[in-house]
Structure 1
Amino acid sequence: MAPEQQINIAQALTRQAEAQPETTALILPRKRTSQGWSDRRWSYRELNELTDRLAAGLQAQGIGKGTRVAFMVPPSLEFFALFFALFKSGAVPVLIDPGIGLKPLKTCLAEAEPEVFIGVTRAQLARMVLGWARGSIRRTVTVGPRPFWRGLKYADLLSARVEAFQPPEVSGDDEAAILFTSGSTGIPKGVVYRHRMFAAQVELMRDAFGMSPGEVDLPTFPPFALFDPALGMTTVIPIMDFTKPAKADPDMLVSLIEQYGVTNLFGSPALMNTLSRYLEANRLRIPGVKRALSAGAPVPPSVIERMHGALDPWSDIHTPYGATEALPVATVSGRELVGELSDGNRSGKGICVGRPLAANEVRIIPVSDDPIDLTEYAGEMPDGEIGEICVAGPTVTDTYWRREKQTREAKMTDDQGRIWHRMGDLGWRDAEGRLWFCGRKSERVVTPEGTLFTECVEGPVNAVDGVFRSALVGVGERGNQEPVIVIEPEPDADRSAVEAAVREVLARDWLTREVRRVLFKDAFPVDIRHNAKIRRRELAQWAASPG
């Protein structure tokens, strides 16, 4: 195999270790005192050497190229070191959100058939008690005390001789990881990532947002943190429950930003909402932060406006658009969104998600629930009209793990042999080439009078004082659905006044006048990953029998 064909995303860490060996790669805050945070730190040289030792240990245990490894380790030194060691050994990490529920988690693991399970003690106990992937797992590695002294310890991997490690030949098309979707709008699916896709993601993130070595990142979403070593950034791991970003302590986040000179902040819209409300209420600013990134669900205009009040005038919040299957697709800066584009959201146009990145090509095709093999059969919608968003580009994945039906439904091929991913999102393109997101295809509400799109209805409703968020759901069979708007109110809102204002908003449009039922629910069900994607199917079931 020619050297230029060799691509292993772990090489990005090695390059950083060669370029800036003594630069701090990872900071793990431990305890907060009156003098600030105490912490542990590791340089790029130390992190890279540790991953080499672990890769040698994995290989010595027969964990090598193509070995699927279920991985359940929270953000920590071991999280970073083991993940890159798995890449170096050619193994294929399998990532599944533990919060998706015990039954879906067991199903995903049975589907992935991992041969190795690497996890903390609690995860190993759950695996043993609940029988996760019992028929396929042949090796276990525990980070922490081993349950019943079974399997390998993390320390066992460090005993191998690094000199004996033989890096496997890995091409860009080789499988690098299997990342399961959250299942917030359907069944969780294993997205197959190849090494070239990860490499392209690093390049796109660097170019789109101007990220550079020497910056300091505070990532509140574990998978995003894996970009940091590849980009040469210092990672500061916040002390939080990563499955509950909406409940992250904003005072803790601000203190870490201040002490460590954070320049990049990544968080879900739910976390940004919590943080921005805290900053506004306490009249605090976070100078020095060059950029804040928020993704995983639409970011409300109010959150963007509050964040701008805390950022330097030359800093911005960006809202990259994409999915596990294709990321990033497009992006828009908050300062571009404020004003006319945010008013567009409040007037029912959907949410502007920006212009496609230069490496991507985007099409809007007519809405269809059927598989489409070739793009020539898909058609294309004119600018200004709503259809399904599709994308081709270097980060677009080509298959779901052992899900042929779902792969056929989500992928198309063009005459150049490129794979196009159907995002499952509905939207339109404006005259400036910007994309507007109007909601998930599976969540559109189809009535005898027409089709309602979630973001186009919810945007104006969310602008009503006293509305924290809203959800449009359909009750009944598609084509004959009853549209219902469900309101999660602000804690002190006058519900009668809110309902009257919402009905007035709905009455302005001939189609939304159909929405005759307005319901209130104290807390919406949301996805475990970002705490921001509304589980509208559950709300629809609740709305069908709210009593």
Structure 2
Amino acid sequence: MSVALRPDVAGLFLETARRLGDKTALVRRGEATSFAELARDVEQLASGLRRAGLQPGERVALLVPPSRDLYSATFALFHAGLVPVLIDPGIGFRNMGRCLAESEPVAFIGSPKAHLARLLGRWAPTSRLNIVADGAVPGMSRLSDYHSDEPLTGGVEDSAAAAILFTSGSTGAPKGAIYTHGVFSAQVELLRSMFDIREGEVSVPTFPLFGLFDAALGQTCVIPEMDFTRPGGVDPMAVVRPIQEHGAHQLFGSPALLDRLGRFGEKHGIALPTLRRVMSAGAPVPAKVLERFTKMLPPGVQIFTPYGATEALPVSLIGSEEVLGETSALTAQGRGVCVGRPVAGAEVAVIRISDAPLGAWDESLRVRSGEVGEIVVKGPMVSRDYLRRPDAAALAKIRDGSQVRHRMGDLGRIDEKGRLWFCGRKAQRVLTPDGELYTIPVEGVFNTHPAVKRTALVSVGEKPVLCVERESAAEISDASLTKELLSIGARHPHTKGVATILYHPSFPVDIRHNAKIDRELLAVWAAGRLS
């Protein structure tokens, strides 16, 4: 039987590097690395790691900040058939230890800080090869010590594991999604076609994984000086400066980062005339944020917000023109947030809400057109399984012949134009004596008040409680704002029953994008306030 072999993401990068040669692939702290130099790192490191005894399919923990070493190590692991384990350091010390225990890596490639944490936490006892990257530790080998000129032969199977990407754990314990080389290749080709990405463009990626895709597509990646685990607290000039100095064409940032940049740009009159596209993911981007940031862009340049999850990305896509021109008005009426039309190859369905496992797909699971249910997706961008989490896989995956449908854990509906609308997390729906309330449609109504930065619907027992984070500059008392918000809520059938409002100084958010509101933590806080 023949095996499907095609260029993996590392192969695509090496092909790109052969074409672009001495053109700049990477800029960090003023130091430029050419495509030829980075490709040489990749090929020599891949060969060296295999010569050091690592075998295809074995897992390697990779905890390195965005840098030349991160790019070369990731592509080298792909090229060698090894499986990098990618964990967001923001998930916390204890969760990091759990994820590493689950993945049992045979090698650990990390920054000096990561190796200190490894020693303190006694992480990765299964590792037989510990290598320092992006720095040095006395007595420990570095990535450059494993370079070999002996060429590697062969390729990787489409269906072979390429990486383990751990979810952020924003709505539960972090889970390791198993990515195949086929999934990564599908994602790269989707990005290229959806956004007309061209070789020679300059990108400022503020999310490490997308920077790797940029390099594979022939873009120059300018790495900003920022804490990538806290995009919501970024110094705006740390992102604005590289865009302006390098004439960047593309920016990828979380909604929290765009909010921070947009407020800064509005205050200081900053323009970003070279940008051709902006992409944001991790949570829905509020219309207020889109409107503010768009003022910094040239006419006709859009902010695109792909919808998806670690396990399936991208699922759908919408641009700021459609949001600001049409769908944001419907969001303000409590219709949910439109996340656009399914991307090429994605089959999106909405099924009846259930917290139970669904073993096999059946068309009868679908809800009626326009009805709210759980979003399910099938396609080449969907990961099939979790690492050593059969219970989680049973809840999230539905067998459909030889394929798998992923349950997003999100609620939504499909409108008459074929667009997908996001209505909140399934686990965060609020059960009241009068029926279920979905977070996003409720919050969309109250978010229209100019003194409100954002809101979060939670439940305390069977009571719906609206938590409010105010705009810092709003000059209105809590009592007056509460009265006005209750008046707004009374205009809509689904919000008129929300009668309890609490004010929180700064919502807890997810660690990866600083954009998803931690409603579970807010619910505990609200219960304490009301007790």
For 1:417-449, what per-residue CA distance to the aligned partner results, in whole angstroms no more than 9, with x for missing partners?
A: 221111111001111111000000011111111
Q: Using the aligned pairs only, state the percent identity.
A: 45
Are the aligned partners of 2:67 and 2:134 in contact in 1 as well (CA < 8 Å)? no
Unaligned runs of 5+ in 1: 31-38
2:415 is matched with: 430
CA positional deviation for 1:99: 1.2
Partner of 1:486: 467
Aligned-partner Cα distance in 2 for 1:545–1:62:
55
Q: Which amino acid aligns with 2:525?
A: W
How far does residue 224 in structure 1 lie from its aligned partner after superposition? Answer: 1.2
Q: Which of 422, 427, 441 is the aligned partner of 1:456?
A: 441
Question: How far is 1:324 from its partner?
Answer: 0.5
SS at match of 1:513: coil
Structure 1 residue aligned with 2:156 = 170
| Aligned counterpart in structure 1 of residue 499 of structure 2, from 502, 508, 516 | 516
Query: SS where residue 122 of structure 1 aligns?
Result: helix
Aligned to 1:391: 377
Deviates more, 1:4-13 or 1:428-437: 4-13
Tell me how far apart the structure 2 counterparts of residues 209 and 368 of structure 1 sit (CA, whole Å): 35
Q: Contact (CA 8 Å) 2:45, 2:144: kept in 1 or not?
A: no
Return the TM-score normalized by structure 2.
0.97
CA contact (8 A) 1:88 1:167 kept: no
CA distance in 2, matches of 1:193, 1:16: 22
Within 2, Cα distance between the matches of 1:276 and 1:240? 17
* Counterpart residue number, 1:138: 128
The letter for the 1-side match of 2:258 is M
Specify the alignment match of 1:90 in structure 2: 81
The aligned counterpart of 1:34 is none
Q: Distance in 1 between matches of 2:161 and 2:363?
A: 30
CA shift, 1:414, in A, is: 2.1
1:36 alignment partner in structure 2: none
> What is the CA distance between 1:394 and its match in structure 2?
0.7
For residues 86 and 404 of structure 1, the distance between their equivalents in structure 2, rounded to whole angstroms, comes to 26
- Alignment counterpart, residue 305 of structure 1, candidates 291, 310, 320: 291
- The CA deviation string for residues 477-521 of structure 1, in whole angstroms up to 9 with x for no partner, is xxxx21110011111332233222211122223342222210011
Which residue does the alignment assign to 2:525?
542
Please give the alpha-carbon distance, in whole angstroms, between the structure 1 residues aligned to 2:448 and 2:208.
32
Rounded Cα–Cα distance in structure 1 between residues aligned with 2:248 and 2:526: 44
CA shift at 1:7, angstroms? 4.1
Corresponding residue SS for 1:398: coil
Give the gaps of 5 or more residues in structure 2: none
Contact 1:125 1:147 in 2 (8 A): no
Name the SS of the counterpart of 1:124 in structure 2: helix
How far the C-alpha of 1:275 sits from its partner, in A, is: 0.6
Report the secondary structure of 2:239's partner residue.
helix
Q: Distance in 2 between matches of 1:45 and 1:362?
A: 40
Distance 2:425 2:450 in 1: 26
- Offset of residue 413 of structure 1: 2.0
* SS of equivalent residue, structure 1 residue 546: helix
Residue 179 of structure 1 contacts residue 193 of structure 1 at CA under 8 Å; is this kept in 2?
yes
2:342 maps to 356
- Per the TM alignment, residue 243 of structure 1 is displaced from its structure 2 partner at its CA by 0.7
Equivalent residues in 2 for 1:27-66, closer than 5 Å: 27-28=27-28, 30=29, 39-66=30-57
Q: Could you tell me which residue of structure 1 aligns to residue 301 of structure 2?
A: 315
Asked if 1:15 is matched to 2:15, the reply is yes
Matches of 2:357 and 2:518, distance apart in 1: 24
Q: Which of 36, 45, 60 is the equivalent residue of 1:69?
A: 60
Alpha-carbon offset, residue 383 of structure 1:
2.2
Aligned-partner residue type, residue 71 of structure 2: F
Tell me by how many angstroms 1:212 deviates: 1.2
Greater shift after overlay, 197-206 or 251-260? 251-260
Matched, 1:531 2:514: yes
Q: 5 Å matches for 1:199-218?
A: 199-218=185-204
In the alignment, is residue 474 of structure 1 matched against residue 459 of structure 2? yes
Q: 1:475·1:482 contact (CA, 8 Å) conserved in 2?
A: yes
Cα 1:4–1:68, aligned 2, differ >3 Å: closer, same or farther? closer
Aligned match for 2:145, one of 152, 156, 160: 156
Which letter maps to 1:545?
Answer: G
**Matching residue of 1:192:** 178
> Which residue among 105, 109, 122 is the counterpart of 1:114?
105
What does residue range 285-434 of structure 1 map to in structure 2 within 5 Å? 285-376=271-362, 379-415=365-401, 417-434=402-419
1:111 partner letter: E
1:4 shift after superposition? 5.5
Residues 175 and 192, structure 1, Cα contact 8 Å, conserved in 2: yes
3-state SS in 2 of match to 1:492: coil
Query: How much has 1:453 moved relative to structure 2?
Result: 0.6
- Which whole-Å CA distance do the structure 1 matches of 2:420 and 2:520 have between them? 25
Matched letter for residue 375 of structure 1? W
Aligned residue type for 2:218: G
Verify the 8 A CA contact 2:64 2:134 in the aligned structure 1: no
Q: Is this contact kept in 1: 2:69–2:134, CA < 8 A?
A: no
How many angstroms apart in 2 are the aligned matches of 1:12 and 1:375?
34
Which residue identity does 1:483 align to in structure 2?
Answer: P
TM-score under structure 1 length normalisation = 0.94
What is the rounded CA distance, in whole Å, between the counterparts of 1:297 and 1:98 in structure 2? 19
- 1:156 is displaced (CA, Å) by 1.2
The Cα of 1:146 is off from its aligned counterpart by 5.3
- Equivalent residue letter for 1:90: G
Counterpart of 1:58, as a letter, is L
Query: AA paired with 1:235?
Result: C
Amino acid at match of 2:463: E
Q: Give secondary structure in 1 for the equivalent of 2:496.
A: helix
Q: How many residues align?
A: 528
Residue 303 and residue 6 in structure 1: after superposition, are their counterparts in 2 closer, same or farther (change >3 A)? Answer: same
Q: Distance in 2 between matches of 1:61 and 1:378?
A: 53
Query: Residues 307 and 316 of structure 2 are in contact (CA less than 8 Å); yes or no, is this contact kept in structure 1?
Result: yes
Q: How far is the alpha carbon of 1:89 from its aligned partner?
A: 1.1
Deviations 1:297-337 (A, max 9, x none): 11000011112211111211000000110100000010111
Q: Indicate if the aligned counterparts of 2:4 and 2:158 stay in contact, CA closer than 8 A.
A: no
Question: How far 1:247 moved relative to its partner?
Answer: 1.4
Amino acid at match of 2:79: K
Give distance in 1, aligned partners of 2:254 and 2:295. 18
- Structure 1 distance, partners of 2:480, 2:201, is 47
**How far apart are 1:148 and its partner, in Å?**
6.0
Q: Which of the numbers 472, 490, 507 marks the counterpart of 2:490? A: 507
CA contact (8 A) 2:459 2:523 kept: yes
Question: In 2, are the aligned partners of 1:374 and 1:412 still within 8 Å (CA)?
Answer: yes
Out of 52-61 and 419-428, give the one that drifted further.
52-61
Deviations 1:342-385 (A, max 9, x none): 01111101100000012111111111111111221651122221
Please state whether the residue corresponding to 2:228 is helix, strand or coil. Answer: coil
- Would you say the 8 A contact 2:224–2:239 is kept in 1? yes
